[in-house]
Amino acid sequence: MEVIIRPDTERAVNLVVKLIISRITEMPNATLGLATGRTMERVYAKLVASGVSFAGCHTFNLDEYIGLSPDDPDSYRTYMNTHLFDHVDIDPANTHVPNGNAADIKAAALEYEAAIVDAGGINLQLLGIGTAGHIGFNEPLSSIMSRTRDKALTPTTRVQNAEMFGGDPDRVPKRALTMGVGTILDAQELVLLATGPAKASIVAKAVEGPITSMVSASAIQMHPNCKVVVDEDAADQLQGREYYDFIFDNEPEWESYRTQKT
């Protein structure tokens, strides 16, 4: 794992955008794993503004609320269309979001796993982190080997996501269909972005704490190619930052990112 600390949110987002663009440029037919949430809104806005072509890409989103139809204004399908898919040249048929409205959720979960395999697996998986330590909607005690399945959301997550539901946690659906931790760990590369002071404590637990199903995001420590990008606020409780900064400041792989103007 590498931890990159940028001075502010803008520069953390820019670095993640650059990582994604480099991957798509090297591999125009890349399969991307995508996340939703407030943190990613800026990433998608900048990807759209960059004009990078998604024409050859396939995408798989991490999760979807159970019980919301794809055209529900609060669904993650709507989020993705609004923030990214409607503004880039991706073929809509190549964009996948779990079907939280399926009559048979277990079958939908199996189909989603099979579709990822059929696409050749995920080349780059973008991740956010919830204050409950989730990646996707893998709430505490999610098995580190879990696959796509339905999951009950914690009260903490429902409070975190209430803003998108008129500020009312009771309006946030109680369950979601989410890739499992094991599904996420199968991706070739993970890029986790966390910004803002509300994420400082959970980022420190995920990156430097023990690997535990109580903090699903800690499982990324087991991934051989994982980058965690944070701004100063989200990095606030990290103990090892001297070393992380040393790596970013000296390793050749980061040279073009160091000299990035913003």
Is 35 among the residues that bind ligand F6R (CB under 6 A)? Answer: yes
Interacting stretch for ligand F6R, rule CB under 6 A, among 30-38, 98-106, 221-229, 246-254?
30-38
Instruction: Tell me the CA distances in angstroms from 89 to 47, 54, 93, 164, 199, one per residue in order.
Output: 12, 6, 12, 27, 33
Distance CA(41)–CA(240), nearest Å, equals 29
Point out which residues pair with 152 in neighbouring strands.
Answer: 175
Instruction: Tell me the CA distances in angstroms from 138 to 120, 148, 173, 249, one per residue in order.
Output: 23, 10, 15, 33
**192 or 252: whose CB is closer to ligand F6R?**
192
Name the H helices within 99-154: 105-118
Is 33 among the residues that bind ligand F6R (CB under 6 A)? Answer: no
* 57, 96 Cβ separation under 8 angstroms: no
Indicate the residue type of 230: V
Dihedral, CA of residue 82, residue 49, residue 62 and residue 95, to nearest 10: 70
Closest CB 183 distance from ligand F6R, rounded Å:
12
Point out which residues pair with 95 in neighbouring strands.
Answer: 59
* 62, 136 Cβ separation under 8 angstroms: yes
Is 24 among the residues that bind ligand F6R (CB under 6 A)? Answer: no
Interacting stretch for ligand F6R, rule CB under 6 A, among 106-114, 129-137, 201-209, 239-247?
129-137
Is 39 among the residues that bind ligand F6R (CB under 6 A)? Answer: yes
**89 or 163: whose CB is closer to ligand F6R?**
163
Q: Residues 16, 108, 116, 135: which binds ligand F6R (CB under 6 A)?
A: 135
**Mask of contacts with ligand F6R, 238-257, x by CB under 6 A?**
--------------------
Q: Residues 100, 128, 173, 180: which binds ligand F6R (CB under 6 A)?
A: 128
Closest CB 162 distance from ligand F6R, rounded Å:
11
Residue with tokens 């914690």, as numbered in its chain? 154
Distance CA(174)–CA(171), nearest Å, equals 9
Is 38 among the residues that bind ligand F6R (CB under 6 A)? Answer: yes
**Residue of minimal CB distance from ligand F6R?**
128
Interacting stretch for ligand F6R, rule CB under 6 A, among 5-13, 32-40, 84-92, 99-107?
32-40
Interface residues toward ligand F6R, by CB under 6 A: 35-39, 62-63, 128-130, 134-136
